[in-house]
Amino acid sequence: MMTAWAILRSMRPEQWLKNGFVLAPLVFSGLLLDSSALAKGLLAAVAFSLAASATYLINDVRDRTKDRMHPIKKSRPIAAGELSATTALSCALVLVGGAALAGIELGPAFAFVLVTYLVLTLLYSLLLKRLVFVDVLVVAAGFVIRVLGGAAAISVPASSWLLLCAYLLALYLALGKRRAEMVLLGEGGGSHRTVLSHYSLPLVDQAISVVLGATVLAYALYTVAPGTVAKVGSEGLMATVPIVLYGLFRYLYLLHRHEMGGSPTRALLTDWPLLVCVVVWAAVAGLVIQLG
């Protein structure tokens, strides 16, 4: 029982919320109420969740020595000695197998996207996370791949505007996570994560400001783009711009005033104003698209 609990914790199920990006094409294509498309979208999200958990296990095995010196990561099961490296890697193989089965079920296009995600994630773990700014750019790319996977699963084209908005939002969150790590670890951050020695708080804050502005502009333009208006049937999505603005500002507030940016998913689950904001956005956007 203890081993099963350790495996589950190492899979980081709270991080599966990130795979909500897989469902974005389902929402914005107006197929949310289509039972077949919904089933495929949910299966795609499950496939990405299994694949992501496999990479978490592999990464934790590889970084277990450094994690033992980290104030938070030292409690991870592998770093704490609750789960052996052999068991963790065996579980990772099983999870990849499960993701592969889902990929085969959803077709070759989705399977290709899923394999691309796995390769990119492993490259990140092995090399790319050590390169300044490349690390956050690659993390953001992983979210774009999720959107592409969701589109491939339900056989709809992925809007270039949607991909841009997803990329910028993910980049904003990734930069926020780096800032939170720097604040938590202080001057010793480089010993836990090599790339942190190349960043500074003013540099990261400036990057966050640039990406925040770009995200707001891209989303606002997306809501009134001719292709979006034609698909939705109105300019009603403009009503969601203030909701998105509040969500972005709320995360920035949590990052600076409550030091909660280290895990955006944990911030979403524990900060009720942010959670309500996401729910309201989803409800308003879904309503506009369905009624448009």
CATH number at residue 101: 1.10.357.140
Asked if the structure places residue 216 within a domain, the reply is: yes
Asked if the structure places residue 184 within a domain, the reply is: no
Cα angle 175, 24, 268 (rounded to 5 degrees) comes to: 45
Asked if the structure places residue 171 within a domain, the reply is: no
Question: 6-41: string of b/e by CB count within 10 Å (b at 16+)?
Answer: bbebbbbeebbebbbbbbbbbbbbbbbeeeebeebb
Q: Which among 166, 240, 251 is positioned nearest to 208, based on CA atoms?
A: 251
Domain boundary among the residues 111, 140, 158 is at 158
> So what's the pLDDT on residue 289?
82
56 shares a domain with 146? yes
219 shares a domain with 116? no
230 shares a domain with 102? no
**CA distance linking residue 176 with residue 251, whole number of Å:** 9
Q: Which among 263, 229, 86 is positioned nearest to 161, based on CA atoms?
A: 229
Amino acid identity for residue 207 in this structure: A
201 shares a domain with 250? yes
Asked if the structure places residue 283 within a domain, the reply is: yes
Asked if the structure places residue 163 within a domain, the reply is: no
In this structure, what token pair is assigned to residue 249?
């500002």
> So what's the pLDDT on residue 4?
83
286 shares a domain with 223? yes
Q: Which among 123, 168, 167 is positioned nearest to 145, based on CA atoms?
A: 167
| Regions of the chain with pLDDT less than 50 | none
In this structure, what token pair is assigned to residue 160?
């270039």
79 shares a domain with 28? yes
What's the total number of domains in the chain? Answer: 2
Asked if the structure places residue 108 within a domain, the reply is: yes
207 shares a domain with 128? no
3-state class percentages of the chain: helix first, strand second, coil last, to nearest 5: 85, 0, 15
> So what's the pLDDT on residue 239?
92
**CA distance linking residue 59 with residue 147, whole number of Å:** 23
246 shares a domain with 146? no
**CA distance linking residue 24 with residue 48, whole number of Å:** 14
SS3 258: coil
What's the predicted TM-score (pTM) here?
0.87
Asked if the structure places residue 176 within a domain, the reply is: no
19 shares a domain with 146? yes
Asked if the structure places residue 85 within a domain, the reply is: yes
> So what's the pLDDT on residue 172?
95
249 shares a domain with 141? no
Domain boundary among the residues 158, 174, 204 is at 158
Domain that holds residue 13: 1-158
